[in-house]
Structure 1
Amino acid sequence: MNEGAGCDAHGRSGLLTTYIQYQASIPRPSLTDTDIGLPLPPSVLTDSTCKILHEELALQWVVASGATRDLAMQNSWALFELMVKSMVEYLYWSGAHEAPRKARFPDQFTDDLTTLVNNVTSEIISGSVTFK
């Protein structure tokens, strides 16, 4: 990242920020060619084996410990950007943007996200981690 990559006022890599915003494509569950471009079918949304990126990222971050947790905290801006992009694409492809606000995401994800926000807030207040 240091090879000619400029950073913004917050110390974030401009190249990585631009990549996440414009180029990163969030993987969708395997669909047939006829499903491409269509909203996610209900079977995908209720399939417990299907991993949605923002849900899995939040879960893994919440359960992380040691060096993995420290590294995630130091690079939290990039992980949050990926989560936001995945959430937006999920709302679009699932059609959940038309659902009531509290029903747009599964309860487990909102619980993990609440825990994650509390953890990050605690880290900021305690000053025990240096955010980039």
Structure 2
Amino acid sequence: MAIVVGYVPTKEGRAALTRAAEECKLRGTSLVVVNSARGGRDMVDPEQRDGLDNLASDLKADGVEVEVRSPVRGLEPAEDLIAIAEEINADFIVIGLRRRTPVGKLILGSNAQRILLDSPCPVLAVKAD
């Protein structure tokens, strides 16, 4: 089994990644880092791809077995995380949270809420410092 973490290069994403890596070490399990991008393959930023490759190398050097997935299927990040968690029968999902205004939730939706409600496994939500 493995732990799935939703990652974007923000302070919330880094907090989720840090906690997920800690949990992997404690449990002796692997980590699947999901960086979901909407649109076609051309939508993946080369700098972001390099950053993900470096991130994986750093985690491996720290003793974490890691796989990075960057699905580009036109789905919402919540859908990608849930689908991957189901596919690998994940132990749990780790996500980073940020405060949003009620209007922001209404207009943009809430991936965190969708993951919390629809996840096939437990969800660990962390906040950035």
What is the TM-score of this pair, normalised by structure 2?
Answer: 0.30
Structure of larger gyration radius? 1
Q: Which structure is higher in RCO with an 8 Å CA cutoff and minimum separation 6?
A: 2
> Which one has the bigger helix percentage?
1
> Which one has the bigger strand percentage?
2
What is the TM-score of this pair, normalised by structure 1?
Answer: 0.30
